[in-house]
Amino acid sequence: MAKRTLPRLLQTPAVVLLLIWMLVPLSMTLYFSFIRYVLVNFRKPEWATPSLSNWRGFGNYKYVLEAKDFWMAIQNSVLIVSSILVLTVILGLLIAVLINRTFPGRGIVRVLLISPFFVMPAVNAVLWINMILDPVLGLNGLAVSGLNELVAGLRDFPVIGGFFAMWPELHPISFRATQTSAYAVIMMVTWQWTPFAVLIFMTSLQSEDESQKEAAMLDGASAWSQFINLTVPHLARPIAIVVMIQSIFHLSLYAEIEIVSRGNGNKNLPYLIGEFTSNNIGAASATGIFAVILANIVAIFLLRMVGKSLMD
């Protein structure tokens, strides 16, 4: 007991500070979610102070649930997070397996592959929406314009001209539109976070048992069979960890949505909280509690998945 007491006493300040750092903001958010707290209200100026006399009960939660953008924000959050996770895991696996082999310049390739992860989210969004996805000046518009010119030139050929004459003129996609802005966010975040998955998977592949792969090759197993039956099971724990860490970060995306569409048909819960925070702190706090509940549901599911993977 004496040996345990000193380490616990030394850990106590850090634990207490961490609890205060977590519990105080959460408690204040919970308190604000049950009162009328509006920063600017000339009709009811008393609502501008977080007083207990402005108690509203579950009124803020009802207001948020009935808001026109709440359920769209939930669906958009799930769509964006799940799509990014699927794409980053698949691309990360493929790239990690490819660069795990020895080839000239492998060190430089690894550095270049990891570098997008260090780009700031706002810079990443500005580069993608203006230089790549812009329908006029970006690569999106230039590629479509070049393809139309190529098809127009092929229409003059005697044999294949008739086939290309039936091709319609292509138009670039505007990724700032309501229907496509979520896909722009998915693409740019996938590009930024795939190197993180590559780094985790590439490190784990260094410990893969090569004797099993050699035995599988002697038994006539194909490269695909080796990948599915040996490599993927070996990477089960890293995949679970990548999914858990990325889910935590992607549930709080904000800068990309703000830069791409200003929330026009493409809101998630953090963006909806930001809109409420401009005036209605009570509604923003209630939305924050919903976001905490959603994050905990996802975390419990992912922790179970990770725990099962570690036990296996």
- Full-model pTM: 0.80
Report DSSP state, residue 133.
S
Asked whether residue 309 is domain-assigned, the answer is yes
Asked whether residue 282 is domain-assigned, the answer is yes
Residues 303 and 244 sit within 8 Å (Cβ to Cβ): yes
266 by DSSP, 3-state: which? coil
Asked whether residue 149 is domain-assigned, the answer is no
Residues 122 and 99: their CA atoms lie apart, in Å, by 29
How many structural domains does the chain have?
1
Domain that holds residue 294: 66-117+180-312
Q: Average of pLDDT values for 107-111?
A: 80
Query: Which segment of 126-130, 234-238, 298-302 scores lowest on mean pLDDT?
Result: 298-302
> Has residue 236 got a pLDDT over 90?
no
Q: Average of pLDDT values for 189-209?
A: 87
Residue 269 token pair: 């819960």
Q: In this predicted structure, what is the pLDDT of residue 191?
A: 92
> Has residue 307 got a pLDDT over 70?
no
Chain CA centroid to CA 24, Å: 27
Q: Quick one: pLDDT band at residue 98, thresholds 50, 70, 90?
A: confident
245 by DSSP, 3-state: which? helix
Comparing CA positions, the residue from 250, 228, 198, 184 lying closest to residue 91 is: 198
Residues 298 and 304: their CA atoms lie apart, in Å, by 10
Asked whether residue 166 is domain-assigned, the answer is no
Mean pLDDT taken over the chain: 82
> Has residue 311 got a pLDDT over 70?
no
pLDDT (tens digit, 9 = 90+) per residue, 165-190?
777 778 888 877 767 788 889 999 99
Comparing CA positions, the residue from 145, 306, 163, 168 lying closest to residue 239 is: 306
Q: In this predicted structure, what is the pLDDT of residue 91?
A: 92
From the CB of residue 13, how many other CB atoms can be counted at a distance below 10 Å? 9
Residues 185 and 271 sit within 8 Å (Cβ to Cβ): no
> Has residue 309 got a pLDDT over 60?
no
| Burial per residue of 267-289, b for 16 or more beta-carbon CB atoms within 10 angstroms, e otherwise | bbbbbbbbbbeeebbbbbbbbbb
pLDDT (tens digit, 9 = 90+) per residue, 39-58?
776 677 777 777 788 888 88
Asked whether residue 235 is domain-assigned, the answer is yes
Which stretch, 4-8, 154-158, 187-191, 302-306, has highest mean pLDDT? 187-191
Q: What CATH number does the domain containing 289 carry? A: 1.10.3720.10
Residues 256 and 125 sit within 8 Å (Cβ to Cβ): yes
Q: Average of pLDDT values for 66-73?
A: 84
Report DSSP state, residue 251.
T
Chain CA centroid to CA 229, Å: 28
> Has residue 290 got a pLDDT over 90?
no
Residue matched to tokens 């099962």: 308
Max Cα distance, the chain (Å): 93
Asked whether residue 41 is domain-assigned, the answer is no
Q: Quick one: pLDDT band at residue 1, thresholds 50, 70, 90?
A: low
Q: In this predicted structure, what is the pLDDT of residue 229?
A: 79
Residues 185 and 91: their CA atoms lie apart, in Å, by 17
Cβ-Cβ contacts under 8 Å for 35 (sequence gap 6 or more): 50, 51, 52, 54, 55, 56, 282
Q: In this predicted structure, what is the pLDDT of residue 88?
A: 93
Q: Average of pLDDT values for 58-68?
A: 87
Query: Which segment of 52-56, 108-112, 193-197, 299-303 scores lowest on mean pLDDT?
Result: 299-303
Asked whether residue 270 is domain-assigned, the answer is yes
Residues 27 and 50 sit within 8 Å (Cβ to Cβ): no
pLDDT (tens digit, 9 = 90+) per residue, 124-167?
888 888 888 888 888 888 888 888 888 777 777 777 777 767 77
Residues 53 and 74 sit within 8 Å (Cβ to Cβ): no
Q: In this predicted structure, what is the pLDDT of residue 237?
A: 84
Q: In this predicted structure, what is the pLDDT of residue 164?
A: 67
Q: In this predicted structure, what is the pLDDT of residue 165?
A: 74
From the CB of residue 167, how many other CB atoms can be counted at a distance below 10 Å? 13
Please, what is the Cα angle at 241 between 239 and 243, to 5 degrees?
Answer: 70
Q: In this predicted structure, what is the pLDDT of residue 84?
A: 92
Asked whether residue 6 is domain-assigned, the answer is no
Residues 266 and 185 sit within 8 Å (Cβ to Cβ): yes
